[in-house]
Chains A and B, each alone.
Chain A
Amino acid sequence: MTERLWNILIDSFPRILLPGLRMTLPLTVIAFALAMVIATVVALIQFAHVKLLTPLARFYIWVVRGTPLLVQLFVVFYGLPKLGVYLDAFPAAVIVFSINEGAYCAETMRGALESVPAGQLEAGYCVGMSYAQVMRRIVLPQALRAAFPPLSNSLISMVKDTSLAANITVMEMFMATQRIVARTYEPLALYLEVALIYLMFSTVLTWLQRWGERKLAAKGGVAHA
């Protein structure tokens, strides 16, 4: 490898990593946190068969899962201004990613809620607990535990999917790399470099997932006892 290429790689490393820390990471964390709130609410609505809201929840999941993320980004960022709704790139990305991720995670959460044996709900009623009490104390904790591994997967996928935000001018890692490529004409080396940085991010998250799973297991009691 030439010295020039080395210099480009070393020089570009912080210029890719910094947007990663400043954009990719906050985008992922904020959007995923919002997605969790959406997912929990939507899953609980379906689990409890709330009238009127359940069809609405299904509709939301149907639309979001049935359309490409990239198209959703374009609709919100380039399309909505037609209706007078102007959003900056970053908030637009946060909104789209949380709505998109919320739909997928809602299905994960619903499955996890349904995996808790119904008999435990009934046993809760029989000792005098209300629906809300049984959900909060018995069903939700077990569902969250069951949902933890698949939700971790979703989070790891999302870190990588945030590269799509480059298409709506969010200055995240991938866009930063593209800019450097345009200046240096070293696409292979630089795209491999950014791939490596994504891999670092994912690896850290995988460690966190393992740690979280151990932590949950240590608290004892499994959903399918």
Chain B
Amino acid sequence: MLEVAGLCKRFDSLEVLRDVSLRVEKGDVTAVIGPSGSGKTTLLRCLNFLETADSGTLTFGDRRYDLSRMARRDIAAIRMQTGFVFQSFNLFANRTALQNVTEGLVIARRMNREQARDIAMDALRRVGLEDRADHYPSQLSGGQQQRVAIARAVATDPRIIYFDEPTSALDPELIGEVLSVMRDLATTGMTMLVVTHEMRFARDVSSRVVFMEHGAIVEENTSAEFFKNPRQARTRAFLSSIEGKR
């Protein structure tokens, strides 16, 4: 479905991504884990062109792109087929929950309002928030805002959704509701690439796990194998450091 090869990215002298290659099949739920500063966010942002990669190729669907020289039209086309869920939600503050979801349909996709409304209400129902449709983001809890953000991504019927630490900005008691929405999404076969610190999600929900450190992928495996038999010493060190924090 999606394949990245040889992705490199630097911020001035700081090398943030070094030759990252990654393959995501349709229906995969891939968890990306790794210490903070290892380049996980930058990887996702390069995949949706919020950052421009210095080099690398992206195969998306049946086309191949040079990530460092993307045409504007190709960027627009790929964004139309992908969803992005941010750590800080980034809901449109001047739009209600419902309008947050319809915006991408009515404005970007020129869908008629009634149809967009139906789709958006369905999406809000999936995240359990149809009764909050007319609330503004400032009137919603963090967990609810993130669920609206997920509905906003789902409603555009994307081929893949990128999640950047979707629960890291949440109070502990609100994390569960967001994870459960993501779990439901995974069971419907949605392709997801999820940067997360939630090891339980990585183990129980994701089908694959990618471990990143210092801008490179250290290890990649099915999630069962990854946690049972981590091959790299650095992976084992990271996993035990996380266990230690619990």
Residue pair B48, A221 in contact (C-beta under 8 Å): no
Residue pair B95, A126 in contact (C-beta under 8 Å): no
Residue pair B94, A123 in contact (C-beta under 8 Å): no
Number of interface residues of A (CB under 8 A): 25
Please, what's the 1-or-0 string for B137-155, where 1 marks a CB less than 8 Å from any CB in chain A? 1110000000001001100
A124 close to chain B: CB less than 8 A: yes
Cα distance, A117 to B139, chains bound together (Å): 18
Give every chain A residue within 8 A of B108 (Cβ-Cβ). 127-130, 133
Stretch of A23-31, A97-105, A136-144 with 4 or more beta carbons under 8 angstroms from chain B: A136-144
Number of interface residues of B (CB under 8 A): 31
Residue pair B93, A222 in contact (C-beta under 8 Å): yes
B27 close to chain A: CB less than 8 A: no
Please, what's the 1-or-0 string for B27-40, where 1 marks a CB less than 8 Å from any CB in chain A? 00000000000000
Nearest CB of chain B from residue A91's CB, rounded to whole Å: 38
Residue pair A122, B94 in contact (C-beta under 8 Å): no
Residue pair B94, A138 in contact (C-beta under 8 Å): yes
Residue of B nearest to A224 (CB): B93
Residue pair B90, A127 in contact (C-beta under 8 Å): no
Nearest CB of chain A from residue B50's CB, rounded to whole Å: 5
Q: Taking A119-B90, A221-B138, A225-B137 as contacts, is the C-beta distance between A127 and B104 under 8 angstroms? A: yes
A120 close to chain B: CB less than 8 A: yes
B65 close to chain A: CB less than 8 A: no
Q: Taking A221-B93, A222-B93 as contacts, is the C-beta distance between A119 and B86 under 8 angstroms? A: yes
Cα distance, A78 to B156, chains bound together (Å): 61
Residue pair B93, A223 in contact (C-beta under 8 Å): yes
B82 close to chain A: CB less than 8 A: yes
Q: Which of B90, B153, B156 contacts A117 (CB 8 A)?
A: B90
Residue of A nearest to B149 (CB): A123
Residue of B nearest to A133 (CB): B107
Give every chain B residue within 8 A of A128 (Cβ-Cβ). 76, 79-80, 104, 108-109, 156
Cα distance, A138 to B152, chains bound together (Å): 15
The contact sample of 11 A-B pairs, CB cut-off 8 A, is A116-B93, A119-B86, A123-B84, A126-B153, A128-B104, A130-B108, A220-B138, A223-B93, A225-B91, A225-B136, A225-B137
Q: Which 4 A-B pairs have the closest CB atoms?
A: A127-B104, A128-B108, A119-B90, A225-B138
